[in-house]
Amino acid sequence: MAHPSGHPSGDKAQPGLNVQTGQFFQDARDGTNLHDAEEKQDDKKGDSMYNDTFGDEEYAEVKYKVLSWWQCGFLMVAETVSLGILSLPAVVAELGLVPAIILLLGLGLLATYTGYVIGQFRWAYPHIQSLADAGEILLGPIGREVFGTGQLLLVVFIMASHLLTFSVAMNTITDHGTCTMIYGVAGLVICYILCLPRTSAKMSYLSVASFISVFAAVLIVMVAVGIERPWKGSLAATVDTSLYKAFLAVCNIVFSFSGHVAFFGFMSELKDHREYPKALCLLQSIDTILYIVTSVVIYIYAGPNVTSPALGSASPQVAKIAYGIALPTIIIGGVVNGHVACKYVYVRLFRHGDHMHSRGLVATGSWVGIMLGLWVIAWIIAEAIPVFSDLLSLIASLFASWSTFGFSGIFWLYLNKGQLFSSPRKIALTILNVIIVGIAACICGLGLYVSGRSLHDDANSNSFSCANNA
């Protein structure tokens, strides 16, 4: 029997993967491996330890577990590399060239490690589909509600960021041709329609288009600012700054690596969950390299007055072109996050019922209704906090600090409890993961202070306004 919270009982080892190596390990009782254990699931349907999220889909109308590793990787890229990159050149201007590069590289490597720990945790508990499931393992029913609410709030805020950036883009392209709120509603309708397919596989092809879009847009801006050279002065390796400004910049870096909140969900829809590390490496190699190159190049040529979002640093004509090309990634990034949010609510409602794999009226109508409600909430948030950098820092401080770093450290400590100091390697990893939890707590505490102060002091923060926000 499994513990009600999802823990394996003390008299039986869990069949699955070695969370350290990713290799199959055997059941201590009868010598069966994971494949044999999966064949026995029909006899253990009440035991969450032996059932993944979507169960046997051989005859299902709607099949979820169809993602290849590259499709999963590009979903992760689309969810992560979309909005954060637009704020990074301004981060370099705030921190200085050398500190910014060190932070981008260091946090990128740390995000890779914490992303892998998420994979380890799900290999150990294959029923996990969301942070709520992970929270239940750690803290029982209370953990499920706390972690699940945090995940949903984070993803909805990211959806709001995409709607906000869509309105900024449209104001730039049209020279503020109409009320900003109308652009927000237009973005809501477009994102909602594209979110209607129920499986992540349908989103993966849009994700490839999203990556091409953001890559082309930032490439155009880099070339344009290199030719125009709006900044003719010299740049120092470091700059004088305050704790308030510096930490506000750090929050934007954290946000740029904050895709981890969706990793459990993406992993649950992989055809072969052992290929998750390939998808993670695809994401982290793309985002870390792209972030460093884009932020440094644009900062060097645009200078300390570089704008956030960075696409506004080029001339008005180039900015319009770049925003036009970036529209797919602005929209699709929001669509992927909207899909994650709706999937969490939908799975929570229908996980143990027949509607999960059904195309019937109740199943389809519920998906459509949940999606509409979430996008309306995201639009309200976008209109209430209409300053790009302030919204990003608030999200990063309150939620992304934990979903990207802190929770992963806690997951590792939980997986290795009882052997944290069993070897020099374990001691080193224990210290590392305790430090990671401390980093998350620091980002959350100081980040809330600086983002709250920024929202309070920003004179341009006009909620529900038709004013130009470009």
Question: For position 382, what pLDDT does the model report?
Answer: 86
Tokens standing for 395? 């999200």
Confidence of residue 430 (pLDDT cuts 50, 70, 90): very high
Confidence of residue 386 (pLDDT cuts 50, 70, 90): low
List Cβ neighbours of 16 (8 Å cut-off, separation of 6 or more). 24, 25, 34, 37, 123, 124, 126
Which residue would you say has higher pLDDT here, 82 or 179? 179
Q: Which of 329, 323, 234 is nearest to 314 (CA)?
A: 323
Q: Which residue is associated with the tokens 């130009």?
A: 468
In this structure, the strands spanning 24-25 and 16-17 are antiparallel
Residue 73 pLDDT exceeds 80: yes
Looking at residue 405, what DSSP letter applies?
I
CA distance 433 to 409: 5
The per-residue pLDDT of the chain, averaged, comes to: 82
Q: 188 vs 234, which has greater pLDDT?
A: 188
Rounded distance between C-alpha atoms, residue 57 and residue 336, angstroms: 23
Going along the chain from its start, the domains and CATH numbers come out as 66-457 (1.20.1740.10)
Q: What is the pLDDT of residues 74-110, one digit of tens each?
A: 999 998 887 668 778 888 988 989 999 999 999 999 9
Bridge partners for 295 per DSSP = none
Of the listed ranges 43-47, 207-211, 215-219, the least confidently predicted one is 43-47
User: Given the structure tokens 């792209």, which residue do they identify?
Assistant: 290
Instruction: Report pLDDT for 388.
Output: 60
Query: Where is pLDDT greater, at 62 or 387?
Result: 62
Q: Which residue has the higher pLDDT, 54 or 142?
A: 142
Measure the CA–CA gap between 30 and 4, rounded to whole angstroms: 23
Q: Say yes or no to pLDDT of 178 above 80.
A: yes
Confidence of residue 460 (pLDDT cuts 50, 70, 90): low
The structure's pTM equals 0.83
d(CA 436, CA 463): 36
Helix (H) or strand (E) holding 16: strand 16-17
- Convert the pLDDT of each residue in 157-177 to its tens digit: 889 888 988 998 899 889 888
CA neighbor of 407 nearest in space, from 261, 278, 309: 261
pLDDT at 36: 37
Q: Is the pLDDT score of 304 beyond 70?
A: yes
Lowest-confidence range among 11-25, 138-152, 312-326?
11-25
pLDDT above 80 for 116:
yes
In this model, does residue 195 exceed pLDDT 50?
A: yes
Kindly state the tokens that stand for 303. 């200078």
pLDDT band at 420 (very low <50, low <70, confident <90, very high): very high
Q: Percentage helix, strand, coil, to 5, in the chain?
A: 70, 0, 25
Q: How confident is the model at residue 458 (pLDDT cuts 50, 70, 90)?
A: low
Mean pLDDT on 426-433:
95
Give yes or no for residue 287 having a pLDDT over 80. yes
C-alpha–C-alpha distance, residues 254 and 42, integer Å: 43
Q: State residue 3's pLDDT score.
A: 40
Half-sphere exposure of 430 (CA within 13 A, CB side): 13
Question: How far apart are alpha carbons 427 and 257 in whole angstroms?
Answer: 27
CA distance 302 to 313: 7
Among the residue ranges 140-144, 164-168, 429-433, the one predicted with the least confidence is 164-168
459 — pLDDT class (breaks 50, 70, 90): low
Nearest to 404 by CA among 223, 272, 280: 280
DSSP string for residues in 236-305: -SS----HHHHHHHHHHHHHHTGGGGGHHHHHHTBSSGGGHHHHHHHHHHHHHHHHHHHHHHHHHHH-TT
